[in-house]
Structure 1
């Protein structure tokens, strides 16, 4: 008997609670214009930080706000290369000394036969 009483209703699909006495949060509607001429609006909470750009739901292109608000330009850090990080730790004179030491070890054979043979096989390939 109990299973018949639920017939015709999808569990979890509908709420049987009415909206009487429910206060919705304040909202704001923000319009966006796509570079391909599409216009759409989205609803945000009134206290939310609204984005300056949004992906167009029709074509996927970047859409900017209709009211002219633009994103603040972020200060970008310059890309640090391996050489830049190395120069932070060592001076040119120190690097030249290290290079001279390694070349002496390589020429004297102190680095071992495996090191020299693996480099030769790389050069011939």
Structure 2
């Protein structure tokens, strides 16, 4: 005996049982990118859109290009820098010595030395 439910046996959000003539997908083209680690990525773009020269590889994150024989080089990853390393880039040793002397003088003045 049937329960009378029209959607029995299909899940919510499922696609239509047969393709509808009004839902034809937009024309696309496939562009192949190659990264320096040997990965190949196939990216779909709209047919009328221009493909960029480089694309980030979805597997390793390195830049990938259209030329399989000459892929773009690897990105250099910058090492972590501490606050002190950034300060040392901006200040010379002489400036640091002057600032230290000024700070020590203020501390000594507060302490009454």
TM-score normalized with structure 1 length: 0.43
Q: Which has the bigger relative contact order, CA under 8 A and spacing at least 6? A: 2
Larger Rg belongs to: 1
TM-score normalized with structure 2 length: 0.46
More helix by share: 1
